[in-house]
Amino acid sequence: MKYIIILTGVFLCFGNIIVGQDKLTTKSRAATKLYEQAGEKYGRMEYNNAVRLLQLAIEKDDRFIEAYLLLGDIYDKQREYHKEMEVLQKAVTIDSTFFKMTHFNIGVAAYNAGAYADAVSWLMRYKTNNPDVRAIERVDGWLVKAQLAKESVENAYEINLVSAGDGINSEFDEYWPSITADEQTMVVTVLLPRNMELFRERELPKSSMYFQEDFFVSERSDESVWQNRFPLEGQINTQTNEGAQSLSADGNVMFFTACGRDDTKGSCDIYFSYKTESGWSVPKNVGAPVNSPYWESQPCFAADGQTLLFVSNRPGGSGGKDMWQATIQGYLADGTPYFGDLNNLGSTVNTPGDENSPFLHHDNETLYFSSDGLPGMGSVDIFMSRRGGDGSWGLPVNLGYPINTEGEEIGLTINARGNRAYFSADNREGKRKGKDIYYFNLPTVLQPKPALYVKGRVFDAETQKSLPADFQLQDISTGKLVVTSRGNSFSGEFLVSLPVGRKYAFRAEYPGYMFYSGHFDVDMSHPLDKPYRLDIGLNPIKAGVTITLENIFFETNSYELLEPSKVELNVLVKFMQDNASVKLLIGGHTDNVGSAAYNQKLSESRAESVYKYLVSNNIATDRLQFKGFGMNKPVESNDTDEGRAKNRRTEITIL
């Protein structure tokens, strides 16, 4: 509130008026002395002692306005907003004209306390009684926020917040939940006391002097219960702070924030680590252009495997902390990604205030983030923005009550299906102080587009040895690369997100092996509780090996290649370029509909179309042959539509 009260040798800044000692509203010497002592304690930030003295002063004179005002200021600093409202209203009851700003201060306290209807009432009272321009400018912004918050409470979503359970939550603060696409693994940041005995003895300030952050992981059981957490294994947790982490969709890599390290480019930087057989690798600074001499934090590694969103206070943005993004350009010899294509997310979602905790859902279209620069219900609220067809972000939408409250909401993450959200909030069960992890079913209007996933393992088809293959998922209709990923380095396990509503060409490849060609038609009717399981055996490149090209398409009874076939054909071109000694036989096959002669000619013409495409892309003719097999080599029965579809295929065989 910031009144200025002049006491004997003490200047206190808590307002916009000056009240001398000789003008105090009390005539009680005892109350005045207690008030002076409280002012000294206030100046030394001994707020609890100041409160005790002011309460005694009010007992001596319950019409001592300045004591109420100073007490309200202290409660404001302690975030005891209900108490602040109470004492300031007593001051107004005694004399409503003594300090007109008190009406405004009560309105702000009511807003901070979540009493939004009261906030609107008091702010309007202040505006009505102070019609000058400065007063209106001061109050209008708060009125917009209070009115929005009031309407949000009146139209609250029916949400049941559920604790993630004692396996994850503890007596310490837990925050920044990060989950895998299959919702089986969660990593959280935990604020741990450096001295446990001291922590047990008294309440400690949550500063780096007394606490440090580490990562813990929990796995979900078959009964959907989060199991007892344990520290991340490997070389990722240290005696300094690690926090604000983001897992990849498959849980194999993680980006996180660390500050003050020897290789730090600025105050805080973003680091990268990946899962190994013995635990997490030694973290590496991802370098420029992500990290700079400024502050970088709160990474979000998108499910596309390419995009990193993060928060920075570097110049060139809209205000304090802005959301930025960069794209992986490649990998260094030690496996660390390097980035380029740095962009600010723009002034639609970035404000002159601070934005925090960006989370881009697996649909690659829906962004969730926290902001104190947009009208909300508290100091920091969670918002949602959807990406338009032109790639720009839409106007942010407040997630409403009770997701947002009068407190600070930050660090929301949502499962791949888009129906369940996780975030950290002050303990809402009343068991203990501090932050815990909660989840809830997201209202339909706030949900992103759902995403499925394909999960499995890649291995050598002959030896069964695991292979850490590279994966690419392309939109067949546009040819756009949707997801890129890499299998686990020691288990060969992989997980790739599939946003629903598209047809995908799915490819797995590893040096020295034939690539795998897959096709997924993920329409909106596909059951969201039935992800795909796909174990892939890759064959070493050698004579006689045959694979089916799943994404070569022709019109019915035609050998003209359809445009979507170029996604697969370009993969085949690259395979031939990367393996200069390979020679191929392109084989065309049909079902048994029609005469044998017709199908023989059609299959040969289709194989020739693929042959011509490769030749037109500078693949030498002496490396290629084509042949039509008609309906002579079915792989399925021709008695069903599904069987006939599989028999209509294009194959390649190594010569």
Q: Output the CA torsion 493→495→496→498 (10° steps).
A: 140
Can you give the three-state secondary structure of 260-273, one letter per residue?
CCCCCCCCEEEEEE
Q: How deeply is 630 buried, as exposed, middle or buried, from its count of CB atoms within 10 A (0-12, 13-18, 19+)?
A: buried
Band of pLDDT at residue 366, cut at 50, 70 and 90: very high
Asked whether the CA dihedral 20, 24, 29, 35 is positive or negative, the reply is negative
So what's the pLDDT on residue 395? 96
**Residues 95-127: pLDDT tens digits?**
999 988 999 999 999 999 989 999 999 999 998
CATH number 2.120.10.30 is the correct assignment for the domain at 162-446: yes
User: What percent of the chain clears pLDDT 90, i.e. is strictly above it?
Assistant: 73
Tokens of 36: 């002076």
Parts of the chain belonging to CATH 1.25.40.10: 3-154
**What is the predicted pLDDT for the residue at 23?**
79
Domain with CATH 2.60.40.2190 in the chain: 450-523
Q: Where does the chain hold its CATH 2.120.10.30 domain(s)?
A: 162-446
Q: How far is residue 79's CA from residue 323's CA, in Å, rounded to a whole number?
A: 28
Indicate where the chain has its CATH 3.30.1330.60 domain(s). Answer: 541-655
pLDDT digits (tens, 9 = 90+) for 159-215: 998 999 999 999 899 999 999 999 999 999 999 988 888 888 787 778 788 888 999
For the entire predicted model, the pTM comes to: 0.86
Q: What is the pLDDT of residues 581-618, one digit of tens each?
A: 999 999 999 999 999 999 999 999 999 999 999 999 99
Q: Which tokens is 101 given?
A: 């700003």
**pLDDT surpasses 80 at 16:** no
pLDDT grade for 344, boundaries at 50, 70 and 90: very high
Question: What's the pLDDT score for residue 204?
Answer: 79
| Domain 450-523 top-level CATH class | mainly beta
Secondary-structure class of domain 3-154 per CATH:
mainly alpha
Q: What are residue 137's phi and psi, to 5 degrees? A: -60, -40
Contact residues for 232 (Cβ-Cβ < 8 A; gap 6+): 187, 214, 215, 216, 217, 279, 280
On the question of pLDDT at 578 being above 90, the answer is yes
Residue ranges of the alpha helices (H) in 176-235?
196-201
pLDDT value, residue 22: 53
Residue 292 has pLDDT above 50, yes or no: yes
Q: What is the CATH number of domain 541-655?
A: 3.30.1330.60
* Residues with Cβ within 8 Å of residue 86, at least 6 apart in sequence: none
CB 372 within 8 A of CB 352: no
Strands 470-475 and 502-509, by their bridges, are antiparallel
Q: Is the pLDDT of residue 20 over 70?
A: no
How far apart (Å, rounded) are the C-alpha atoms in residues 291 and 268? 8
| Inter-axis angle of helices 65-77 and 81-94, nearest 10 | 160
